Amino acid sequence: MFSENVQKIFDEIMADKENREFTEAGIKPLFCAPQNARVMIVGQAPGIKAQEAGKYWFDKSGDRLREWLGVDKKTFYESDVFAVIPMDFYYPGKGKSGDLPPRKDFAPKWHPRLLQEMPNIDLIILIGQYAQKYYLGDREKSNLTETVKAYKEYLPRLLPLVHPSPRNLIWLKKNPWFEKEVVPMLQAKIKGYLNSIKL
């Protein structure tokens, strides 16, 4: 369920001429913006499975992301702690090597308006290069690994992460510090947010 203002934004996204082909095909924008959310997760764009299911992070990548967060599916989807605002709310299609990138003008058009409707956001998790480029700007390092390594520079508001895709297993093996250092820190933060709403 959306708040009244977020529902208005949702309707505008559906009516936007830039999204006409999706709307005419009966495809709805895939995002989640609870008014009381504390954590905003910014990824690339929904995958085809997520779009078909109408459920974001509904795949193996989502399973690993929830492991990193230290939460189960029920908490992830129902607690209202998490907002999920990808760089594009629609599956962009297939390219030569994986999914196409999100549309460049999409996030600047809709993210600021949605953020205004979530005044309690404390942490913005930036998953992958597109989210990091948009939110970090010239604070981004020379590559994704260096950006994620420098995560302490961006806290407490922003946290860059590698994508939890199974394709990044090699990266995780090459960079064991990530699961030894970053994941426990993230889990502790999430636990704190969850405990605060239970008080």
Pair 3, 117: CB distance under 8 Å: yes
Torsion of CA 44, 46, 47, 49, to 10 degrees: 160
Q: 77-96, pLDDT tens digit by residue?
A: 999 999 999 999 999 998 87
pLDDT confidence tier of residue 39, bands split at 50, 70 and 90: very high
Residue 199 reports pLDDT greater than 70: no
Q: Residue 1's pLDDT is what? A: 72
Q: 152-188, pLDDT tens digit by residue?
A: 999 999 999 999 999 999 999 999 999 999 999 999 9
Q: Residue 198's pLDDT is what? A: 66
Q: What does the alpha-carbon distance between residue 108 and residue 141 come to, in Å, rounded to a whole number?
A: 21
Residue ranges of domains in the chain = 4-198
**Percent of the chain's residues with pLDDT above 70:** 99
Arch. (CATH architecture) of 4-198: 3-Layer(aba) Sandwich (3.40)
Mean pLDDT of the chain: 95
Residue 97 reports pLDDT greater than 80: no
- For the segment 43-50, the average pLDDT, to the nearest whole number, is 91
**Phi-psi region for residue 93, left (φ > 0), alpha (ψ -120 to 50) or beta?**
left
Query: Structure pTM?
Result: 0.96
Q: Computed from CA positions of residues 155, 160, 165, 168, in that sequence, does the dihedral angle turn out positive or negative?
A: negative
Burial class (CB in 10 A: 0-12, 13-18, 19+), 11: exposed
pLDDT confidence tier of residue 133, bands split at 50, 70 and 90: very high
Torsion of CA 83, 68, 46, 163, to 10 degrees: 130
Q: Residue 96's pLDDT is what? A: 79
Q: What does the alpha-carbon distance between residue 173 and residue 1 come to, in Å, rounded to a whole number?
A: 39
Residue 11 reports pLDDT greater than 70: yes
Residue 98 reports pLDDT greater than 80: no
